[in-house]
Amino acid sequence: MKKTLLIALTALFASGAAFAAHCPADMKQIDEALATNPQLTEAQMTEVKSLRAKGEELHKAGKHGESVDTLHQAMVILGIEKK
C-alpha cells in the first residue's frame, strides 16, 4: 500500500514539473506569434492577450495544468500547433 502511494505521489509531482516547464514555452510561442502582427480581429487580439496574461498568472500561482489549458486556447486563436 505504501509503495503504491509513493509511486502515485511521485507521478503526480513529476507531471506537475512537466507542466511547469511547458508554460514558459507556450508563452514564448504566443509572444513570438504576436510579434509578427497576426491577422486577427480586434476582439481576437484582446482575447489572445487576456488568455496569455491569465496563463502567466496561473503559472506563477502554481496552477500549471490550468495555465497550459489557458495558453493553448490563445494558441488555437493564433493558429499555433501544440508542440
Query: Does residue 24 surpass a pLDDT of 90?
Result: yes
Q: Cα–Cα distance between 80 and 26 in angstroms, integer? A: 10
Question: Does 14 map to a domain?
Answer: no
Across the range 6-12, mean pLDDT stands at: 45
Question: Does 5 map to a domain?
Answer: no
Residue 47: domain span: 19-78
Write the CATH number for 33.
Answer: 1.20.1270
What local confidence, expressed as pLDDT, does residue 2 receive? 59
Query: Does residue 54 surpass a pLDDT of 50?
Result: yes
Question: Does 47 map to a domain?
Answer: yes
Query: Does residue 20 surpass a pLDDT of 60?
Result: no
Burial of 79 (0-12, 13-18, 19+ CB in 10 A): exposed
Mean of the per-residue pLDDT values for the chain?
A: 83
pLDDT above 70: percentage of residues in the chain: 75
Q: How many domains, the chain? A: 1
